[in-house]
Amino acid sequence: MKIGIVGSGAMGSGIAQVIASAGNQVSLYDSNPLALEKAGANLEATFQKLAQKGKMSYEEAGIYFNNIRLVNELKDLANSELIIEAIIEDLEIKKELFQKLEALVSQDCILASNTSSLSMASIAASCQNPRRVIGIHFFNPAPLMALVEIIPAVQTDSDLVLKTKELVETWKKLPAIAKDTPGFIVNRVARPFYGEAIRILEEGVADCATIDFAMTSLGGFRMGPFQLMDFIGHDVNYRVTESVFKEFFYDPKFKPSFTQKRLFEAGFYGRKSGRGFYDYSENAIQPQPTTDSALLESIFKRILVMLMNEAADAYYLNIASVKDIDIAMTKGVNYPKGLLAWADEFGLENLEKELDALYNLYHEDRYRCSPVIRRLVKENKNFYN
């Protein structure tokens, strides 16, 4: 299949690597010639390293790299059967690009966006034929992360959803179909991992190191929330939180924090800038966590129940199926368990009680229990019944 990719940054290059390795002919375009040249060199080096590590033969590495063609002009994508854009998260810029692409390609060409949270309906509306527009959202780094969210716009042809799902599977990825709502599955359901952790910090219950330790030691998460926010970068993570909050009509459960906003405003983006919630300078002394077991358990439980509640709400509002929500969180952000399977294990009656206790303490709407949890408790059922 002939596939065009617009944007040769980390995400675009990663997608090119994935698709070329599946035997497709890829045309990688970038408006910046230097960025395109750098991407080509990095891709060649990546394939060689994979061969050195025994992940593929040197012959395969050469074939896969030669499947990628670097192009300097948008018109060189004209014969593509599918184009995936992986450019800046700016709705107007994406819409302008889709209009240009539609004027170049055939009527059968699928136009896809790698957006992580923008409205697919808005992007599709920029095209004369919105039925062929769909979201294909990879996770960074694309070659390593198994999940791909598929997001049909309300205008998307229903047959295209299944076709896209089957196509993603040929790339050896796990597709999860999501409704076109802010954040889709992962960036919506994951918000409490960050938001509730910051809330606990702001309340003075515990410091960053202790909260991170609670989630890694008791929950089995690979990184704690503050470690992960610093790794992602507050220029990215805060903007996503702000966008989701705004796009959900200012639902208080998605409300950003002033603590992270100040880091963002100061340019303390995390690892990339040398400072975030933690200090990454050469001689910095990293804080040690408190090891009080009761405190760690209370932190872990509070963040976990908020995550499980958000996953339940995503299911309740038909954002995705139970299975796709759990696939998304385990394969998109490496959670140790699917949140809805975890909720069944935790006990939905216990989950309901924990959420109600938080709501009764704070009387804030962010702690409202999802109606689907109450219904399942009443019916003595689980998510996986």
Enumerate the active-site residues. Answer: 116, 137, 149, 187
Q: Give the 3-state secondary structure percentages of the chain, helix then strand then coil, rounded to 5.
A: 55, 10, 35
3 state SS of 145 = coil
Residue 65 sits at the vertex; the CA angle it makes with 61 and 68, to the nearest 5 degrees, is: 160
* DSSP collapsed to 3 states, 342-371: HHHHHCHHHHHHHHHHHHHHHCCHHHCCCH
Distance between CA atoms of residues 200 and 206, nearest Å = 7
Distance between CA atoms of residues 283 and 351, nearest Å = 43
In the sheet with 68-71, reading across from the earlier edge strand, the strands are 68-71, 25-29, 2-6, 82-85, 110-113, 133-138, 147-152, 174-177
Q: Which candidate, 95, 256, 240, 257, places its Cα nearest to that of 182?
A: 240
Residue 146, Cα to own-chain centre: how many angstroms? 12
Residues 6+ apart with CB under 8 A from 154: 121, 124, 180
Distance between CA atoms of residues 180 and 187, nearest Å = 12
Cis amide leading into 287 (omega within 30): no
Distance between CA atoms of residues 85 and 281, nearest Å = 36
3 state SS of 71 = strand
Q: Which candidate, 195, 229, 200, places its Cα nearest to that of 296?
A: 200
| Cβ-contact 62, 37 below 8 angstroms | no
Run of H or E including 148: strand 147-152
**What are the structure tokens assigned to 266, written together?**
């100061």
